[in-house]
Amino acid sequence: MDLEMVLNELSLRSPAYDIPTARQWMSELIQTLREATKSGVQRVLRTSDEINLLILAPDYSIVRWRNDPEVDLEERRFFKTLTQKYPVWTDVAENIKDSFDLSDVFHEDERAKGLGFAFLIDGLAVSFQSESKWNSHHLELKIQRLDEEGELIDEIEEIKHASRVNHLFEHTEWIKQRIETNIKNGLDIWNRREELFPNLSFCECVEEQLQSLNDKHPMLQLVKSRLLKLENYCKNWSDGTFESNSLGKTSQESQITLQNPKYQNERTFLCPDGQDRLFSWHMKLSRWRIYFFPQSPRQKIIIGYIGLHLRTVKYYN
């Protein structure tokens, strides 16, 4: 999926005091959207299906703003092009959420549907400058998921965000990398693996696993972003000790699982050098896992498996 922008509907939870302030908010938002599109972000603003009914100020909705003769005509036209041709995020959010085993997404204990969708598509969240909390280039979300035993757990994630032009400067490298590594599907990841991930090597079995990721698969962007994390880690891996702290939700398999021959076999993969290795390290992507083998002191990483959560002593798939 291309890099798209998603409107944070919570930033209009408290409308402006008057119409001039509402016009200013819209103008600041549009400056941010313009700058983002100049950087290569798609001219798409995903919104809720009530976008035109959102209240900017008392008795002043976005519909009224779009027809306000005191508002710059080019601003109105630009906003219209971003919102009229593309499906609203509510059309697809539930299907994606189901694939991630998500229950809900919160920002500061408030349900955040738009921000949750931005997280799911690895998009850029954008907000009105209505409260000081939105004056940040990152936002922290609480993600509620079902764990391996069906229990609801909370996890913390950060997403890229902008409500001012200067916030975009913090995302320059991310935007560039996100655009340059635009992936069509899982097979595209495989075919471009040497170009995109020169410090990673892939077991042959991964090719077949990646074929399940079509262009609309909800895991495609997350798989790509996690592989890029591993690639970037290798670029900065300066000594022989592998440390997982900077890689997010990464851990080793429990010994009780690894000692079981059945589960051990499921984690043993034939590597590119012809050697069978037992893979314990893995990155967690909701119901999916990426199993990898750090090669120390070579500062390289082997990818052994990308797919649904493998069975464990406690998790039977």
Q: Kindly report, residue by residue over 131-188, the tens digit of the pLDDT.
A: 999 999 999 999 877 665 556 777 788 899 999 999 999 999 899 888 877 788 999 9
Considering the domain architecture, whether residues 143 and 228 belong to the same structural domain is answered as no
Q: Kindly report, residue by residue over 218-250, the tens digit of the pLDDT.
A: 788 889 889 999 999 999 887 778 888 888 788
3-state secondary structure of 305: strand
DSSP 68: -
Evaluate whether residue 315 is within a structural domain: no
Considering the domain architecture, whether residues 202 and 279 belong to the same structural domain is answered as yes
Evaluate whether residue 317 is within a structural domain: no
In this predicted structure, the answer to whether residue 100 has a pLDDT above a threshold of 80 is no
> Looking at residue 271, what is its pLDDT?
96
Count how many residues are written for the chain.
317
Evaluate whether residue 316 is within a structural domain: no
Considering the domain architecture, whether residues 190 and 171 belong to the same structural domain is answered as no
Q: d(Cα 218, Cα 215) in Å, to the nearest integer?
A: 9
In a 13 Å sphere around the CA of 70, the CA atoms on its Cβ side amount to 9
Q: Does the global pTM surpass 0.85? A: no
Distances (CA, A) of 166 to 40, 135, 172: 16, 10, 10
Evaluate whether residue 230 is within a structural domain: yes
Considering the domain architecture, whether residues 198 and 251 belong to the same structural domain is answered as yes
Q: Give the residue numbers spanning the domain of 197.
A: 183-308
pLDDT band for position 305 (cuts 50, 70, 90): very high
Considering the domain architecture, whether residues 127 and 209 belong to the same structural domain is answered as no
Evaluate whether residue 41 is within a structural domain: yes
Bridge-based pairing of strands 5-7 and 102-107 is unpaired
pLDDT band for position 96 (cuts 50, 70, 90): low
Considering the domain architecture, whether residues 35 and 172 belong to the same structural domain is answered as yes
Considering the domain architecture, whether residues 188 and 237 belong to the same structural domain is answered as yes
> Looking at residue 119, what is its pLDDT?
86
Other Cβ atoms closer than 10 A to 232: 15
Identify the residue whose tokens are 């400056």.
31
Q: d(Cα 3, Cα 41) in Å, to the nearest integer?
A: 6
Evaluate whether residue 225 is within a structural domain: yes
DSSP 1: -
What is the domain-level CATH number for residue 222?
Answer: 3.30.2310.20
Evaluate whether residue 314 is within a structural domain: no
Q: d(Cα 156, Cα 303) in Å, to the nearest integer?
A: 25
Beta strands in the chain (DSSP E): 5-7, 45-46, 55-57, 60-61, 102-107, 110-111, 124-126, 138-146, 152-162, 200-202, 250-252, 268-270, 276-278, 281-285, 288-295, 300-308
Phi, psi of 212 (to 5 degrees): -75, -10
Q: How many domains does the chain have?
A: 2
DSSP 148: T
> Looking at residue 293, what is its pLDDT?
97
Q: Kindly report, residue by residue over 8-27, the tens digit of the pLDDT.
A: 999 998 899 999 999 999 99
